[in-house]
Each structure stands twice: as C-alpha cells, then as structure tokens.
Amino acid sequence: MEKILIPTDFSKTAENALTYSAHLAKMLEADLHLLHTYELPRKTALLISIERHLVGEAQKDISEESARVAAISGMSRVSSHVRRGYNDELIASEADKMGSDLIIMGTKGASGFKEVFLGSNTVRAIKRTDMPVMVIPTEATYKPIEKILLAVDDIFFGKPECLVPLKKLLEKTEAQLIVLHVNKGDKDPSPTPYQTLLTEQFGADNYEFHEVDNPNIGEAVMDFSYKINADLICMIHHYRNFLDGLFKSSTTYKTAFHTDLPLLVLKD
C-alpha cells in the first residue's frame, strides 16, 4: 500500500478519516491524495458565480487539511484536488488515475442503516471500484494495528489475490491475523476449504482460526471483534451477492455502520 486516496467533504467524519489516514500512511510510508468533489444541478450565469465561490472555498479548506495531514504523516507526500462531478464516479476514476492501491473513507455510525445507505457515498464508492476500501467510523481513533480480524461466511472467495492488500498490511504492521468463520446455521459447518486457502496464502502458523454458529453474521463479527480486542476488521465483498438483499443480508455494509472499528473491504 503505497498510495492512499482519501475523499473529503470537510465534515467531522471526513476529518477523522483524514487523521486516521495520516497516521496509517506514516506507518506504511505511503503517499496521500486528498479529493473533494462537488456537484451543480445545471449551468447558468448565477451558478457559474456560485461555483467559483465554492471552488475557492474548497481549495482553501483542502489546502489546510493537506497541511494538517502532512504534519501528522511526516515524510509522506500529500497532494490534493477539487473536482466537479458525481462523487462515487470521481473517487473511482481519481483512484485509477493516481495509481492508488487503497481508498479510505469516513462514515457515520447509525442504527437505522437503511437511511444511511440510501445516500451513502461510501457504499456507492465500494460498488464502483475494484480497489480495497477502508471505512473509518466517526468514533474510531488511530492506534497501532496489532490484531486484524478477517471475517468470512459460507461464500468462499474465488480469487485468492484479493487477499494481497491484507498480506501487505500484515507485513507492515506485523499484526496478528485472526480468522472467524461464521456459520449461519443453514448448512453444516465447513471450515476446511477456508483453512486450506488461508494456509496456502498465509502459512499454517501465521493465523488463528475460529468458528461460531450465528444466523446474524454482523452480530457475530461485532461480538467476536470486541472479545479479542481487534484493531481492524477485514471482510470480503462478493460481487455476485451485492444487489441481492442489500438491506437484508449484505453483511459488509451492515457491519460498516455498526462498529467503531475500522473496516477493510477487500474485493473478490
């Protein structure tokens, strides 16, 4: 992870994500790129004047945030842009253009996650890009990553290469990898295929494997993460089941809005 993209709308949530990103970049020795996007409904002479004002204010704000982030991250190079267009589209295209290998976004915790999802830039950005996305809740504060919880369910990941970002993070942090397989109870437990894949990727002695039975995957992950004092939760997003019951069964996105721990979403 050498280049990190962080979208910001200058809110407290985004500010917290930037602070977390700066500390993480310092540890990873990664470069940071801040991105602010804005939209206008239509183009008129009045809106052109408004746009100039908005862009001027945004440039001032992003310059201040860049300086703050640079001070925290130390040697990391920090760049920034203000772009006009749809947030999720620009995040994906800017990440590609900058050669980023990680996107970090802030999110507010919520009990009524439906309301959050309906307008969530975080979820739309995860859908748009093939890159790993790290979600930083407003309540999260940076601390050295010593324990990473990889949570998996009964849908096996088809591309072992999706684990590469996690492997790189483990190498840099020297964190302990703990794997939790959640059996929802609708089929016989089958941890063996996971253990085979994980052993091939990480080595038999380099991770702990646990299994629990719980029909509520999000609840199981949260309970276990607090039990082991995890510093980061990692989950795998499967394209084939994303649109199928987003609000009913999309564990990744429910988890993103029900934890004060950072969530790393890997793309299968």
Nearest alpha carbon to residue 234 among 256, 217, 205: 256
Phi, psi values for residue 215, rounded to 5°: -70, -20
pTM of the predicted structure, to 2 decimals: 0.84
**Highest mean pLDDT out of 28-42, 66-80, 180-194:** 66-80
- The per-residue b/e assignment along 77-105, b for 16 or more CB within 10 angstroms, e otherwise, is ebebbbbeeebbebbbebbeebebbbbbb
Per-residue pLDDT at 189 exceeds 60: no
Mean pLDDT of 87-108: 87
Give me the domains of the chain, ranges plus CATH numbers.
3-137 (3.40.50.620), 147-267 (3.40.50.620)
pLDDT tens across 52-84, in order? 888 889 999 999 999 999 999 987 799 999 998
Which of 37-46, 57-66, 74-83, 144-153 comes out lowest in average pLDDT?
Answer: 37-46
